[in-house]
Amino acid sequence: MSAIDVERLSEPERLLWRYGVTRPEHIDLDAIADDQGAPVRYAPLCGCEARLVAIGKRAAITVNSGCRPERQRFSVGHELAHWMRDRHTGGFQCAQEDISPQNVKAKSAEAEANAYASQLLLPNYLVDPWIQGRKTSLETAKQLGQDFRASLTASAIKLVKRSAVAACVLCHKPHGLSWSVRNDAMPEDTYIPSELSYETAAFGMVFDDGERMSRPAVEPASRWVSSQALRTAEVESQSVRLSEGVVLTVIGVKTSAAAAKRQSAPRR
């Protein structure tokens, strides 16, 4: 892999780097937690998704064994973040809604733990070279998740955030938009309407239990976003039903060759 400027890495990335992580399969969060004095145990939990019990310089992390493996991994990252960052504040009991890759913006210990966990599972220094030359699509997010053992949601968010192409991740439920994440390449005037267009494949997927994943489609950007700058643009979109009534979509703005060239400069 190319040379890494360790000084520019984020705190969780530096932690991985110190443990010699140079490939996705090297990321062993249980071993890191154990070495940091916070061994991880998996057990059925009631009323929370994961917890951290701290006593002095030692701690114990417990993760709900009833969740999917990628979900458990994100929870380990989240609790490890509390231990590395917030240990002075004592223990944590974290609910399902606290531990979610889309919740990284609020100024709270939970949001910061999610951002930290996202960097532990999908560190930029490994993701950036991985996404080079790949399309910003749900299919790519799925592969990213497989290679890094991360959930599809966490992988789609990371892919979009690190992509040079203007792109968004959207999550819809029957009542409309549940949450969305866009990258900095999206025009500033972009507004994401709360109502899902009936012309999208996602519309049918929110309301019935037909196909699980739609085919990639090229369609007017206006079906997904409202923006003066994108009023004649097209997007490539693809949607997947995560669970009943919950549909995740990745859209990437189709660019002309010249515009694509301008956007291809690597970002950090």
Footprint of Zn ion (CB under 5 A): 92, 94, 98, 110, 113
Question: Whole-number minimum distance, CB 94 to Zn ion, in Å?
Answer: 3
Question: Which residue, 83 or 224, has its beta carbon nearer to Zn ion?
Answer: 83
Query: How far apart (Å, rounded) are the C-alpha atoms in residues 227 and 9?
Result: 34
Closest by CA position to 4, among listed 152, 126, 158? 126
Question: Whole-number minimum distance, CB 108 to Zn ion, in Å?
Answer: 9
Question: Which residue, 103 or 143, has its beta carbon nearer to Zn ion?
Answer: 103
Secondary structure (H, E, C), 130-185: HHCCCCCCHHHHHHHHHHHCCCHHHHHHHHHHHCCCCEEEEEEECCEEEEEEECCC
Query: How far apart (Å, rounded) are the C-alpha atoms in residues 33 and 79?
Result: 9
Question: Which residue, 92 or 130, has its beta carbon nearer to Zn ion?
Answer: 92
Which residue type does 3 have? A
8 Å CB contact between 192 and 168? yes
Question: Which residue, 30 or 86, has its beta carbon nearer to Zn ion?
Answer: 86
Question: Whole-number minimum distance, CB 14 to Zn ion, in Å?
Answer: 21
Question: Which residue, 10 or 93, has its beta carbon nearer to Zn ion?
Answer: 93
Question: Which residue, 82 or 182, has its beta carbon nearer to Zn ion?
Answer: 82
Question: Whole-number minimum distance, CB 110 to Zn ion, in Å?
Answer: 5
Question: Which residue, 94 or 206, has its beta carbon nearer to Zn ion?
Answer: 94
Question: Which residue, 70 or 236, has its beta carbon nearer to Zn ion?
Answer: 70
Secondary structure (H, E, C), 27-96: CCHHHHHHHCCCCEEEECCCCCCEEEEEECCEEEEEEECCCCHHHHHHHHHHHHHHHHHCHHHCCEEECC
Question: Whole-number minimum distance, CB 32 to Zn ion, in Å?
Answer: 17
Residue 24 CB contacts under 8 Å (≥ 6 apart), including other chains: 126, 130, 147, 148, 149
Question: Whole-number minimum distance, CB 26 to Zn ion, in Å?
Answer: 25
Query: How far apart (Å, rounded) are the C-alpha atoms in residues 247 and 176?
Result: 10
Question: Whole-number minimum distance, CB 169 to Zn ion, in Å?
Answer: 22
Closest by CA position to 81, among listed 64, 94, 69, 96? 94
Question: Whole-number minimum distance, CB 64 to Zn ion, in Å?
Answer: 13
Which residue lies nearest Zn ion, judged by its C-beta? 94
Q: Which residue has the tokens 């009534």?
A: 245
8 Å CB contact between 106 and 179? no
